[in-house]
């Protein structure tokens, strides 16, 4: 698994609890933005957030995001993800 690291400067005066909340919010908002743009499928987004597919659908509902499983957007994102995964497995660079 590849790890992505994003730097966010947080003052030392911020509590550990708030730091953890910021980290979780940044992760969720990043994945949600990618999902909304069609850059990843619901299944991939769920995996990125460490959720089950059903839990991710609830997450979308809680945030007011309309989603119809199996739609064209999801299928296209799944196909793009699978092509990328195949290239990674073959050791080729993305096109």
pLDDT tens-digit series, residues 50-66: 999 999 999 999 999 88
| Structural domain contains residue 3 | no
pLDDT at 79: 73
Report the distance separating Cα 57 and Cα 66, nearest Å.
9
- Sole residue written with tokens 């994003």: 6
| Structural domain contains residue 41 | yes
The domain total for the chain is 1
Helix (H, G, I), strand (E, B) or coil at 82: helix
| Structural domain contains residue 27 | yes
| Structural domain contains residue 8 | no
| Structural domain contains residue 39 | yes
19 to 8, 10, 31, 52, 73: CA distances (angstroms): 10, 8, 19, 25, 34
| Structural domain contains residue 7 | no
pTM of the complete model: 0.64
Q: Which domain covers residue 32, as residue numbers?
A: 17-90
| Structural domain contains residue 83 | yes
| Structural domain contains residue 54 | yes
């Amino acid at each position: 698994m590849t790890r992505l690291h994003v730097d966010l400067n947080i003052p030392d005066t911020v509590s550990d609890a708030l730091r953890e909340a910021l980290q979780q919010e940044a992760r969720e908002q990043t994945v949600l933005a990618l999902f909304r743009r069609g850059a990843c499928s619901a299944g991939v987004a769920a995996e990125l957030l460490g959720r089950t597919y059903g839990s991710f659908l609830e997450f979308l509902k809680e945030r007011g995001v309309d989603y119809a499983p199996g739609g064209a957007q999801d299928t296209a994102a799944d196909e793009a993800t699978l092509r990328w995964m195949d290239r990674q497995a073959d050791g080729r660079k993305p096109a």
